[in-house]
Structure 1
Amino acid sequence: MLQEKRHILQEYSNDFIFKLKDLHVNFDKYKYYPRDEKFNSAIFDSDKKLIFSTLESKDVKFDKVTYISENMIHFIEEPESYYLGTKYIILEIPDDNVWFRSVKGEIITYSFIAFIFMLILGYFISKLFLKPMRDALHLLDRFIKDTTHELNTPISAIITNIEMIDKDILDAKLAKKINRIDIGAKTISNIYEDLTFLTLNNKIISQNENLNLSNVLEQRVEYFKSLATIKKINFVLNIEKDIYLNSDLKKISKLIDNLISNAIKYNKIAGTIKVTLKENFLSIEDTGKGMSKENLSNLFERYSRFDKSVGGFGIGLNIVSLIAKEYNLDIKVESELNKGTKIEVIWQN
């Protein structure tokens, strides 16, 4: 708006300077100050002292070219010649947009009220549209909880009965079949425990105790040896005795289980899993497929899977991350494609 007015005022100024020049040349003849109904004006000398003025505004800002003051637009021009001793010419016209500035506060207020109204309306509309999705998710969540609850009894019964069988007195064929059932039951059991942890995570109260982590780790390795046997994977153990960690037995077992399970799942045939436990340090290293650096950044996100040929839901390492956060465990991952992956868990007593 000021830019447009500046062009108009420049034309007025040129016309005014022409009249001022005419007065300067013919001062003895005219002797009256040039006026125009379209604008007010004033002239100042080089010391910024007023020579003559018809301005309504008395405060002149000589450091600006165009400005608004007291609902009037002002324009300052310096003519090439000092006609009648004039160094500065100030023109003044009414501000046509003064009404807008007077109602600007009201516009902002009503806009804010409209925004709040639309926000509330949008909230209720989004709730209405998302209700079918929420109902479907609630139904799915309930189905998972009911399913995992129903799976618990048969899985436990299968594993318990298999462990009671003396495999040494069985012939090789039957022992092989029993071993396959054992592997299948343990795989289902591990998936069941993962789903249970995710669905009940917020309701699980940790029963922390001073755990002998060395014993827990040896037990979990022994538990997974039947799964490792299928791929002819060999465990190399370097477990120091009597390493303790204050934590919940079920949660730490679940953390170890998922790390070992992944090391088996993504390992190569006849590969190796190196398990190391020292003071404040646990490491599980495999000789499997490894991962790219791009995949490492999303490693602990839920449902992330980087190898579709291997089973799973992509929740194991997410559970590891949740448990690690609860107990302030620092997890470091090193991996190289076709060479293997090493996961370190570090903590402070």
Structure 2
Amino acid sequence: MIQEKRQILQEYSNDLVFRLKDLHVNFDKYKFYPRDEKFNSAIFDSDKTEIFSTLQSNSINFEEVAYISNKKIHYIDKPESYYLGAKYIIVEIDDDRAWFKKVKNEMISFGLLAFIFMSIVGYFIAKLFLRPMRDSLHLLDRFIKDTTHELNTPISAIVTNIEMIDKNCLDEKTLKKINRIDIGAKTISNIYEDLTFLTLNNKIISQNEKLDLSKIARQRVEYFRSLARIKKIDFDLHIDEDVFLLCDVKKFSKLLDNLLSNAIKYNKVNGTIKLILIEQKLIVEDTGKGMSQENLENLFERYSRFDKSVGGFGIGLNIVYLIAKEYDLKINVTSKLKVGTRIEVSW
């Protein structure tokens, strides 16, 4: 900026020198120091003593040729002849800061262009580096879908055939074996249904109808009795009649299944599961390990598991949350360590 202004200042200085020369020659005639509306000026002798000045800033640095001081640009010139005894000529103009605004705007413009360019480059680089991970996730997702699909037929066949067996005709030893097969098949079936729900959730079209929740609750409790019997867990049922809700039967059954499955899984031996179904409210309460307040905050996050000693993938309560969100159901969870957990679903 100073280099650009220096040429202008040099012209002003030359103009002032020419006027000083004229005044020096015709001093008796004029006796008036030359002034110009475009700049202020001053003249100093060889001892750097001021002879005359119209400067607004009196801070003069004779070591510089052009510099900025107090928002003024100063230019110091030394004429060939000492007109009026002046060895130094000082020319002063205002620093309008236009150069600063120009530089700032250029920096912002180039900065934005650089940011846009780097963002585009970064996007493609990130896409390139993340491609192997994306392909791996795609393969994993496809593997889960294919696996769950292949599991469907054998699991359905096992569960259906067990249900068709007349257990009254079996001896005690055979009955125990059949019950163990039944429990294993139902456990795998529940995992299969959870994985299917997660992989196909966005494609499942809800078939909403007015459901008799009392009937569904009793059916699901009977389904899980064999699993509960392993840990000698009893069900304490308080189910009102004629409790209805407009919902998809598979989704509500899946919500209740996961609540019951968790209540069995995290319950203690000889524990109890209390199931309460009243108008506009479903409560599942266990006498298990309970959870801390910190764990409750992340309870519905997918793959969250707070007890590694118990099997599972940490997807059950996430499914409960997704179904509750779809039907605007409110979930309230209270838990106390070594006492149990109470999950209340209201609508």
Q: TM over 0.5: same fold?
A: yes
1:338 counterpart residue number: 338
Per the alignment, residue 323 of structure 1 pairs with 323
Q: Deviations over 1:2-56 (max 9, x none)?
A: xxxxxxxxxxxxxxxxxxxxxxxxxxxxxx9x9567xxxxxxxxxxxxxx95449
Contact 2:42 2:54 in 1 (8 A): no
Distance 1:101 1:217, change over 3 A: same
Please give the TM-score of this superposition, normalised by the length of structure 1: 0.74
* Superposition pairs of residues 232-271 of structure 1, within 5 angstroms: 232-271=232-271
Distance 2:219 2:275 in 1: 13
Return closer, same or farther for 1:317/1:73 CA change in 2, 3 Å cut-off.
farther
1:37-48 counterparts in 2 under 5 A? none
5+ residue gaps, structure 1: 1-31, 38-51, 57-65, 75-91
**Alpha-carbon distance between aligned partners in 1 of 2:93 and 2:265, rounded to the nearest angstrom:** 83
CA drift of 1:101 comes to 2.9
> What's 2:293 paired with?
293
**What's the counterpart of residue 145 of structure 2?**
145
Matched, 1:122 2:122: yes
Task: Tell me which amino acid in the other structure corresponds to 1:221.
Answer: V
How many residue pairs match? The answer is 276
**What is the one-letter code of the residue matched to 2:272?**
T
CA distance in 2, matches of 1:152, 1:335: 35
Map of 2:160 onto structure 1? 160
Q: Identity of aligned pairs, percent?
A: 71
Amino acid at match of 1:269: V
Q: Which residue identity lines up with residue 265 of structure 1 in the other structure?
A: K
For the residue of structure 2 that corresponds to 1:301, the secondary structure is coil
Q: Aligned equivalents of 1:176 and 1:156: distance in 2? A: 20
Q: Deviation at 1:93?
A: 6.7
Summarize the alignment of residues 136-215 of structure 1 with structure 2, pairs less than 5 Å apart. 136-215=136-215
Matches within 5 A, 1:20-99: 35=42, 54-55=55-56, 68=71, 72=72, 95=95, 99=99
Give the C-alpha shift of residue 105 in structure 1. 1.4
Taking structure 2 as the reference length, the TM-score comes to 0.75
The Cα RMSD (Å) is 2.6
Deviations 1:40-87 (A, max 9, x none): xxxxxxxxxxxx95449xxxxxxxxx975xxx379xxxxxxxxxxxxx
How far off is 1:97 after superposition?
A: 6.9
Matched residues in 1 for 2:43 and 2:108: separation? 38
Shift of 1:103: 2.6
The separation in 2 between residues aligned to 1:284 and 1:263, in whole angstroms, is 8
Kindly provide the amino acid, as one letter, of the partner of residue 192 in structure 1.
Answer: Y
In structure 2, what residue type is equivalent to 1:130? L
C-alpha displacement of 1:109: 1.1
1:144 deviation in Å? 0.3
1:94 to partner: Cα distance: 5.2
Output the CA distance in 2 between the equivalents of 1:94 and 1:278: 84
Q: 1:142 to 1:35 in 2, by over 3 A?
A: same
* C-alpha distance in structure 1 between counterparts of 2:118 and 2:136, whole Å: 27
Structure-2 separation of matches of 1:291 and 1:162: 36
Match of 2:272 in 1: 272
User: Residues 133 and 36 (structure 1 numbering): CA distance in 2 closer, same or farther, change over 3 Å?
Assistant: farther
CA contact (8 A) 2:234 2:272 kept: yes
Give CA-to-partner distance per residue, 1:195-222, whole Å, 9 cap, x none.
Answer: 0000000100100000001101110001
1:226 aligns with 2:226: yes
The one-letter amino acid of 1:167's match is K
Q: What is the aligned partner in structure 1 of residue 134 from structure 2?
A: 134
Partner of 1:304: 304
Q: Which has the larger radius of gyration?
A: 2
Kindly provide the amino acid, as one letter, of the partner of residue 249 in structure 1. Answer: V
Cα-to-partner distance string for 1:99-123 (whole Å, 9 max, x where unaligned): 3432321221121111101000000
In 2, distance between residues paired with 1:247 and 1:224? Answer: 22
What amino acid maps onto 1:309 in structure 2?
Answer: S
Distance, in Å, in 2 between the alignment partners of 1:265 and 1:108 is: 60
